[in-house]
Every structure is written in C-alpha cells, then in structure tokens.
Amino acid sequence: MNRHTQAGLTLVELMIAMTLGLIIAGGVITLFTFNRHSFNRDEMILRMQDDARQSLREIISDLSMAGYWADLMLPAAVTPDGSLAVATDCGPAGIPNWIYRIVNPGTGDNESLVSVDNSTVATANASFSCLGAEVVPGTDIVSIKRLAGAQAPAVLANNTVYLRTNGTVGLLFREPANAPPAVPVPVPFTDWEYRPSIYYVRTFAVTPGDGIPTLCRKILEFGGVPNVVTECLAQGVENLQIEYGLDTDADGNPNLFIPNPTPAQMQMAVAAQIFILARSADTDMQYTNMKTYTLSNAPAFTPNDNFYRRVYSVTVGLRNLKTLRIMGG
C-alpha cells in the first residue's frame, strides 16, 4: 500500500485561497465603508433635526408669549420711563428707543409683533436698522416684544429693564428706577423683566463669509446702558417663513393665514404657522439633492448640491394677542 504525504499547497490551490481571501477582505471593506457612510449620514441628519427642533422651541416660546404684559390687558397702558436709553437700537431710522416702544403713537397699533416678509437688505434695515447686511435675502424677520413668564424677584438687578404694573397702568423702566418716575405706579405693584427679541436668518455662523446660514436673534443685553446684541441659536437654518392667522370676526379663531400682513392686519393675529428649512452641517459627496422645497410664499428652491435638507413646520397660538382681539383691543 502506497502512502502519499502532502507537504504543502499546489500553486492552483494557493491562487484559489488568495482569491477567496481577497473576495472576503473586499466584502468586509465594502461593508465597513457602507456602514461608515450610513453612520455619518444618520449623524448629519440627527444633528440637523436637533438644530431645527432647537430653533422651533425658541421661536414657539417667544411667539406664544408675544404681547404678554403681565396683568395689563391693554398695551397702551405701558409707558416707557423718560430716562430709558439703549446703546444700540434696532428700529426704523429716526425712531429713538424703538426697542422700548409698545404702541405706535401715530396709529395706536400694538407693536408686540412686527414682521418683514421675504426680506431684502433694504426692507430688513427699513424696519430693523441693526441687521445691516447680515440677513439672508428672501427670509422672514419677526420682532417679538413681551415680558418674562415669571415675576421678578424682590431685589431687582441693576441696569435691567422691567415693567412695573398694578393691573391698571404700567411703567417700563431701568433699575434703579428714575426718581420720581414719569408715571408713578400706585401700590401694590409687581415687576416683570422685559424681553424683546428679533428673529432672522444670518448669512454666516461665526465669521462673515463662512457661508453657513444660521438662525439668530437680536436681544436686549443688560449691564451699563442696555444694548441690542446678537444671539445665534442654530447653524444650517437656510430659511424662516411665518404665516399669521388672522381673526377677522373677533371670535378668537383664525379665519385665514397670510405671510405678509400689514400693521393693521397684524392687530388681528391670533396664531402663527412657522416654517423652517434646515440643512446638514456637512456635505455628502455620494448624495445630490435635487429636491424642490417650497415654504409659504418664498420662491421654490432646488439646491442641486450635496447637503441633506428637511422642512419643519408648526402652528402656535398667540394667546395674549388672541385675548386682546376678543376684548376688542
């Protein structure tokens, strides 16, 4: 009986083994690459969603409080103290201390909510002089004036602006209060911090020219003379559009939504529908976005680039303006 002992592999067997090994290795690399791309894509989309939710949370919170003047029902009952000043204002040119103006003295219109539809640099600055050339053309701007939701502590913070009210009259002043105040508020009264804000989409995130659209807002910063400063909320927000629900029969419910109300029509606003177009922070070169996005009355937009995008929308009630509307204010 002959016995044959195999001492190694033949060339054919070695080539087959190497080929199978390369196939398996290629499959593993392909699977890893696919999973890595899928993970990066999902991470980009999740970050985009988080930024959009943060944007909506902030706008909803402010819009729902628009026109909140504590126990005062009529905005005209608020009088700014004569000593109030602001280092950098943000209203139309020629209107000093606009940030403190609650009611238009010429028309009597409540200015708790002021908007610019599909803004240009010119129209943005006609209403909000502090925006300069920062605004992304074709986006909406909204100014919201209100008080904080909680009463101020017994010891007020110096240089902070408050509304003092006894339910009948109100004085907007900076602590420490001017003595004597322009409009004495009889006791008992309560104090509430004043919190105006202006929402807009900025053309950059950190450095002008970086090309990252960002949702920002102008707020009143306290310390020394109050000053209007910028606070940015979320990068990648490309468009903000708002439609306002008008109550044309004074029953407290919106009858129609329009994107460009006049100041007189804004007196009938009881709800707002917010639209946000958000994009991913980074590009995906394996993806081309050929979708067409339509928000409110903004022109249709087909990006043809490598960013992921989503449209987010929500409707919010303007409860304080609704109450005022039902009262006939």
Q: Quick one: 290 exposed, middle or buried, by C-beta within 10 A (0-12, 13-18, 19+)? A: exposed
pLDDT in tens, 235-245: 999 999 999 99
Written as six digits, the tokens of 119 are 């803004």
Is the distance from CB of 89 to CB of 98 less than 8 angstroms? yes
Is the distance from CB of 156 to CB of 164 less than 8 angstroms? no
Kindly state whether residue 30 falls inside one of the protein's structural domains: no
Kindly state whether residue 153 falls inside one of the protein's structural domains: yes
pTM of the predicted model as reported, rounded to 2 decimal places: 0.88
Kindly state whether residue 161 falls inside one of the protein's structural domains: yes
Average pLDDT score over the chain: 90
Q: How far apart are CA 197 and CA 266, in angstroms?
A: 17
pLDDT in tens, 212-236: 999 999 999 998 889 999 999 999 9
- Note the pLDDT of residue 174: 92
Kindly state whether residue 200 falls inside one of the protein's structural domains: yes
Kindly state whether residue 9 falls inside one of the protein's structural domains: no
pLDDT in tens, 45-94: 888 899 899 889 999 999 999 999 998 888 999 999 988 999 999 999 88
Q: How far apart are CA 131 and CA 159, in angstroms?
A: 24
pLDDT in tens, 246-265: 999 999 999 999 999 999 99
Is the distance from CB of 165 to CB of 72 less than 8 angstroms? yes
Is the distance from CB of 237 to CB of 277 less than 8 angstroms? yes
- Note the pLDDT of residue 19: 76
- Note the pLDDT of residue 267: 95
Kindly state whether residue 76 falls inside one of the protein's structural domains: yes
Domain count, the chain: 1
What is the percent of the chain where pLDDT is above 70? 90
237-246 vs 256-258, strand pairing mode: antiparallel
Kindly state whether residue 25 falls inside one of the protein's structural domains: no
> Is the model's pLDDT at 180 over the cut of 70?
no
Domain carrying residue 195 = 40-326
Lowest mean pLDDT among 127-131, 185-189, 284-288, 325-329: 325-329
> Is the model's pLDDT at 30 over the cut of 60?
yes
Contacts of 234 (CB under 8 A, 6+ apart): 51, 52, 54, 55, 214, 215, 278
Q: How far apart are CA 195 and CA 149, in angstroms?
A: 10
pLDDT in tens, 260-307: 999 999 999 999 999 999 999 889 988 999 999 999 999 999 999 999
What number is the average pLDDT over the span 183-206?
92
- Note the pLDDT of residue 23: 79
